[in-house]
Amino acid sequence: MPTIDRRTLLLSSLALAGLRAAAADAADARAKQPDGAVGMPAEGAPFDFAWLKGHAQWLAGNPYRPGNQPLPSAMTSLGYDQYQSIRFRPDKALWHDAGLEFRLQFFHVGRGFVEPVRLYEVVDGRTREIQYDPSLFTWDGSGVNPAVMRGHQGFAGFRIQFVTNWQADVAAFLGASYFRAVGGDTRQYGLSARALAVDTAFPRPEEFPRFTAFWFERPAKGATSMRLYALLDSPSVAGALAFDISPGGTLVMDVDTAYYPRKPIERLGIAPLTSMFFYGENDRRAANDWRPEIHDSDGLAMWTGAGEWIWRPLVNPPQLHLNSYFDADPRGFGLMQRDRDFDHYQDDGVYYDRRPSLWVEPKQGPHGGWGKGAVQLVEIPTVDETFDNIVAFWNPAEKPEPGHELLYAYRLYWGTVIPFGPTLAHVLATRTGIGGIIGAQREYFSWHFAVDFTGGELGALAKDAPVEAVVTASRGSIEHLTAHYVEQFNGYRALFDLRPPDDSVEPIDLRLYLRVGGVPLTETWLYQWTPPPARERGLTHG
């Protein structure tokens, strides 16, 4: 059976630790309030999304309750391999003997996953709680007597499997409000999504809302999609979510959400995506490994409400970066892995060339699109590929307040082939290095950029077409700007140097596209480059 990798364990453990820290001010309520099952529908009671939204709204109108009793120390002190050895028995999977196209297996609590979730099946509109029993799992190799779990809730999350391959996952939900999925063309996990981000990238602990309960709607025989519901809760917000999951070469999730703030939220992240960028061809500041590139995603793609396509290569910055790309009614955004060449990674263990991209397509609501706001990109310094350091989400301009109902619907596409992309030429690669003219003595420091474009009309242009590169910089000056055709990838390469204006290490924003006769030929390339400190600005190296 597939396992959960160390980075996922670490990430989710940190998220849960952040949630516990955020909930510390409510600790006194734990002994005074009933547990998290209060208000849940009784066995056999009717259930639908309207009920779940009403329940989330009721929760938001009451003080936050951190929830469940502590786990036995034997479970929280498990090592990585010990935790991985606690496996769900495949013959106990939900719908194993029902002749359906889907089955569900469950994750056990332990190690960093200390907050259990309640699981329910919905049949003909009525609920049945799935009862935890240690005998549903194998414990060999864990060193733990399963009897320690008597009287505890033991489910931490679940994995979804499909009829095309009962030995592989198509999606998994585990830790805080995180979930991941794969496209059928690779069956490869990579970046993650989560339900909601609250106050990300502030100089204080981030709050991580968590799923507290799930309902699985039994699909009809022959159905190739399944529906599940989730209840979300945190000190700042409660929410209800519905997922329609359709496996395929590109796995599709339709997500409907309703959020109810308990208190004002300064920075709300809708449809947050989380990934890893250690280093790549454009940013080798941290490159200390034998592999040429290490990343789950190499860029943020955006399709604005005005129809512009933007490509922003990711970086591993020397300090935390938060960028806001303002828009109104965005058509989509996503963290992408465009580079699919194995030779560029040389990793035959985790196969970064196969990692899925993830695209968010906002849906029209009763009042139109998503309105005004910004796609926000957070880049966090990392010294290791096991840390997810990239976050992207939609931040609405209107700040959430208690008593509001926030309704967002969107579609997620997971896979190597996303059904959206620019009709103009797109960025193929970004490379950087020391500037100046080769063979000439450098008299000052500058940094060189080479940006390759392919697709669109570029391949059909006359080889002597007057293609022009248009570059702007927020600071500094542009030098040695050219654009020329490159036969090897049937596209154009834009080359330029950026000369910083001073010894400042403040980031510089760059914008580039190609045009001919005033007509754009390419999507827009955006980049944020941080000059090195003055002591590192040698004239022979960067």
Question: What is the tens place of the pLDDT at every residue in 298-330?
Answer: 999 999 999 999 999 999 999 999 999 999 999
Does the pLDDT value for residue 195 go beyond 70? Answer: yes
Whole-number CA gyration radius for the chain: 25
> Where do the domains of the chain lie, and which CATH numbers do they carry?
6-415 (2.70.98.10), 426-536 (2.60.40.10)
Q: What is the pLDDT of residue 5?
A: 59
Q: What is the pLDDT of residue 132?
A: 97
Reduce the DSSP state of residue 26 to 3 states and report it: helix
Q: What is the pLDDT of residues 226-274, one digit of tens each?
A: 999 999 999 999 999 999 999 999 999 999 999 999 999 999 999 999 9
Report the C-alpha gap between 504 and 89 in whole angstroms: 58
Does the pLDDT value for residue 18 go beyond 70? Answer: no
Shortest CA distance to 110 belongs to which of 140, 81, 151, 133?
81
Q: What is the pLDDT of residue 541?
A: 37
Q: What is the pLDDT of residue 36?
A: 42
Q: What is the pLDDT of residue 10?
A: 52
The two counts, helices (H) then strands (E), for the chain are 4, 33
**Which single residue is written with the structure tokens 């409907």?**
256
Shortest CA distance to 201 belongs to which of 393, 19, 401, 407?
393
Which is it for the CA torsion 250, 256, 262, 264, positive or negative?
positive
Mean pLDDT of 146-174: 95
Mean pLDDT, rounded, of the chain: 91
Q: What is the pLDDT of residues 91-113, one digit of tens each?
A: 999 999 999 999 999 999 999 99
- Half-sphere exposure for 299 (CA within 13 Å, toward CB): 21
In the chain, what percentage of residues exceed pLDDT 90?
83
Mean pLDDT of 368-396: 96
Q: What is the pLDDT of residue 71?
A: 92
pTM: 0.92
Sequence-distant (≥ 6) Cβ neighbours of residue 263 within 8 angstroms: 235, 236, 402
Please state, as a whole number, how many other Cβ atoms lie within 10 Å of the Cβ of residue 539.
13
Residue-by-residue DSSP string for 460-500? GS-TT---EEEEEESSSEEEEEEEEEEGGGTEEEEEEEEE-
pLDDT level of residue 21 (50, 70, 90 thresholds): very low
